[in-house]
Amino acid sequence: TAAPTHSSAITGATSTELAPTSAEALPPSTPIETMPPSLTDAPITEPDVTDRSTYRSVTERQFALMMKDPDPHLWERIIIIGTVTQFDPLTGPTEFRADVRAQPGSEPVNALVSAPYRSSILDNVVKGDSLTMFVKLGPLKAYRTELGTRVVVPSFTVYSLMPYSLDTWPGN
């Protein structure tokens, strides 16, 4: 007898078209014991996120390209300058809005900056602070203004920060 066919909403194919007709159609599986050691034994490690030497400064142009299309740069470690524009009960204790830039004097970008989970890194940060921040670029995030307008902005997670000063700017 013929196998029943069921239409697939995703591909329009039938179940008999999707399923192999015999065991020979399936590729043989590779037991984990025969896989190269580099694929099974090597732990994936990331440099310490608080190590400032693992972050790089970027040019205005590089930053503009990252802001134009952040997806290819997700989780890259960069150094930015930011002035806190909103840090209150509406943003919560672990996220603030800031005008951020890649280099002193460059055009700022409205962004959301957040602390890692359960971090106290933002405890002493207030509206108006100018900071040098060691961040990872995150995905675009949306928020609503007090007038109800939906705004989509880049987001960053900050792992280390210090008061901004041209004398201590690591990009020099």
Tokens of 14: 């039938």
Q: Would you say 60 and 103 are in contact if contact means Cβ atoms under 8 Å apart?
A: yes
**How much is the pTM?**
0.72
Give the pairing of strands 56-57 and 109-114.
unpaired
Q: How far apart are CA 62 and CA 76, in angstroms?
A: 12
Q: How far apart are CA 53 and CA 45, in angstroms?
A: 16
How wide is the angle at C-alpha 112 spanned by C-alphas 44 and 47, nearest 5°?
Answer: 20
pLDDT values of the chain reduced to their tens digit, one per residue, 172 residues:
554 444 434 334 443 344 444 444 444 554 445 445 555 555 667 789 999 999 999 999 999 999 999 999 999 999 999 999 999 998 999 999 999 999 999 999 999 999 998 889 999 999 999 999 999 999 999 998 889 999 999 999 999 999 998 887 786 6
